[in-house]
A and B are shown apart, each in its own frame.
Chain A
Amino acid sequence: MPVPGVILIVAVILIVAALVYYLVATIVTLRRITKGLDAAIAAVGEIVDKSAPVEEVVGTINTHLDAAVDALEGLLVKKAGLSDSMGLIEGLYPGAAAAGLRNFPASKEIKPPRIAEVYTRGVLTLARLGREAPIAALSPEGPVLRHASRASSEVRALYPNERQMRPDKLPDSPVIGTDSPVQYEEALTPGVRPRPPVSAGDGKGED
Chain B
Amino acid sequence: MVLYWIGSLVALFVLFPVVVYLLRGVLQAAESIAPSVDRIAAAAAAGSQDLDAVPLLLTTQEQVIRTVETVADYGGSLDVIVDDA
A residues with CB within 8 A of B: 2, 4-5, 7-8, 10-12, 14-15, 18-19, 21-23, 25-26, 29-30, 32-33, 36-37, 39-40, 43-44, 46-47, 50-51, 53-54, 57-58, 60-61, 64-65, 67-68, 71-72, 75, 77-81, 84
CA distance A40 to B83 in the complex (A): 62
The A contact surface, by secondary structure, is helix
Total inter-chain residue pairs, C-beta < 8 Å: 142
Q: Which residues from chain B contact A19 at a C-beta distance below 8 Å?
A: 19, 23
Of A14, A67, A78, the residue contacting B84 (CB under 8 A) is: A78
- Tell me the smallest distance from the CB of B31 to a CB of chain A, in Å: 5
Find chain B residues with CB under 8 A from A44 CB: 44, 48
Q: Are B64 and A10 in contact (CB under 8 A)?
A: no
Q: Which residues of A contact B48 (CB under 8 A)?
A: 43-44, 46-47, 50
How far is the CB of A2 from the nearest CB of chain B, in Å? 7
A33 contacts B83, C-beta separation under 8 Å: no
Q: Are B26 and A43 in contact (CB under 8 A)?
A: no
Contacting residues, chain B, for A67 (C-beta < 8 A): 68
Residues of B within 8 A of A11 (CB): 8, 11-12, 15-16
Q: Which residues of B contact A46 (CB under 8 A)?
A: 48, 51
- Asked if A79 and B83 make an inter-chain contact with CB atoms under 8 angstroms apart, the answer reads yes
Question: When A and B form their complex, which 3 residue pairs have the shortest distance between CB atoms, in order from nearest?
Answer: A43-B44, A22-B23, A36-B37
Instruction: Name the A residues within 8 Å of B7 (CB-CB).
Output: 4, 8
A8-B40 in contact (CB<8A): no
Q: Which residues in chain B, 44-74, are within 8 Å of chain A measured between CB atoms?
A: 44-45, 47-48, 51-52, 54, 57-58, 60-61, 64-65, 67-68, 71-72
Please, which residues of chain A bring their CB within 8 A of the CB of B26? Answer: 22, 26
What's the Cα separation between A25 and B30 when bound, in Å? Answer: 9
Contact status of A61 and B9, CB under 8 A, knowing A11-B15, A51-B51: no
**Residue from A57, A65, A78 within 8 A of B79 (CB atoms):** A78
Contact of B30 among A26, A57, A68, A75 (CB under 8 A): A26
B67 to chain A, nearest CB (A): 8
